[in-house]
Amino acid sequence: MDIKVQMGDVKFNFRVAGVWLNQDYVLLHRIKHETFWSLPGGRVAAGEESSTSIKREFMEELGVDIKIDRLLGTSENFFVHNGKKVHEVGLYYIVHSEDVDTNTLNKSGEFYGVEGDDLVYQWVKIDQLPSIDVRPGFLYDTLKDLPVGAQHWVNHDH
């Protein structure tokens, strides 16, 4: 069971996300009917380590076995989605896959994962992130100059 709780008028989520870099590109995804992009990932299940969660999410969504390089950071995100307040705690991992030759990845457009067409994926040049709606808002500054140690972000997107 995913860790998500409705508390009054606020929904709480515990989320993991993977930063999969390929040269100057990062893998993003969006829900088909949404206009904003985010990092691939999902909710942590109760009793599950976050490192296991991110591996599970990439396998479920993309059919890719990933390895974790390191924790990039943690976030406290406060935003409104579909008219509802959300408080999300997120762990962001830098990941890679030894099963995929990143030199052969198609970086020319959108594609779907193995779960169907609900999630749309795209490799996006990091320097193009300011020109698209990417959430949370701290991603561009973080990815253009990747920090050496783990960071902590507090983000209010309203």
pLDDT tens-digit map of 115-129: 989 999 999 999 999
| Under 8 Å between Cβ of 75 and 153 | yes
pLDDT in tens, 86-116: 999 999 999 999 988 766 677 788 999 999 8
Straight-line distance from the first to the last Cα atom of the chain, in angstroms, rounded to the nearest whole number: 28
User: How many CB atoms are closer than 10 A to CB 15?
Assistant: 24
**pTM assigned to the model:** 0.94
What's the one-letter identity of residue 74?
T
User: How many CB atoms are closer than 10 A to CB 125?
Assistant: 12
Q: What is the CATH number of the domain that holds 35?
A: 3.90.79.10
Structure tokens at 12: 């709480």
Q: Provide the residue range defining the domain that includes 78.
A: 4-157
- Number of structural domains found in the chain: 1
> Within the chain, which residues score under 70 in pLDDT?
102-104, 158
Measure the CA–CA gap between 124 and 74, rounded to whole angstroms: 22
